[in-house]
Amino acid sequence: MTFWTEPTWKSLVVGTTQPLFTPEQCQKIIDTGRSQPKQDAEVGHGETGTVNKKERTSHISFIPFNVLPPMYKVLEEFIYKTNNNHFGYEGVCLNEFAQYTEYPSGGFYEWHIDSEIVGKEQPPVRKISMTCLLSHESEFEGGGLEIYSDGRIVNLKQGHAIFFSSFIRHRVLPVTKGVRKSLVVWFGGPPFK
């Protein structure tokens, strides 16, 4: 697997040049995500999270580790390589369930970071965030991922993923047609020093 990096982002954003998952694997993840309890996405994390349709409109579910072990094996192998080759953060591991997300037409998520201070739940802290597009890019319009560093909009292809430092502001632009289905994963570790 090869990666691309954006030098203007100081290697804090890394994307795959080949799919992380095949179309069949993407469909398996979609089916699994849809089989889990669905909820309106919240803004915030843990006990501080609230549904706020002015900041985020999407539906999510979480995939437990024991429900889809092959997916988690791929993610663990990938984050090990990605962190060692591009980020170099201490003690990065997969310690949260993956989030399956659907953005319907009109769905979006305003500017936010993934490594907010959440009090008693830390450590570990989120260090690297990953978004993988599960639906085929022809199934929806809009919904690009915008990274705050320079305003570049990332439009992924099915099965491809982007990894970025969890403290970077980012947002998902409104979906204008169809449904954008993605897998979001956070990799954590001890606090930064």
121-146 confidence digits (pLDDT tens): 556 889 999 999 999 999 999 999 99
Instruction: Report CA-CA distances (Å) from 83 to 11, 94, 166.
Output: 11, 12, 13
Supply the pLDDT for residue 41: 74
85-98 confidence digits (pLDDT tens): 999 999 999 999 99
CATH number at residue 125: 2.60.120.620
193/185 Cα distance (integer angstroms): 23
Tell me if 193 sits within 8 A of 54, measured CB to CB: no
Which residue segment(s) compose the domain that 160 sits in? 3-189
H helix or E strand, kind and range, residue 18: none
**Listed range (10-19, 21-30, 31-40) with the worst mean pLDDT:** 10-19
Is residue 161 pLDDT above 80, yes or no?
A: yes
Supply the pLDDT for residue 159: 97
13/34 Cα distance (integer angstroms): 29
H helix or E strand, kind and range, residue 69: helix 69-82
- CA nearest 91: which of 45, 125, 120? 125
Query: Rounded mean pLDDT of 109-116?
Result: 85
Q: How many domains does the chain have?
A: 1
Residues 6+ apart with CB under 8 A from 65: 72, 97
Supply the pLDDT for residue 84: 92
47-85 confidence digits (pLDDT tens): 556 666 777 889 999 999 999 999 999 999 999 999 999
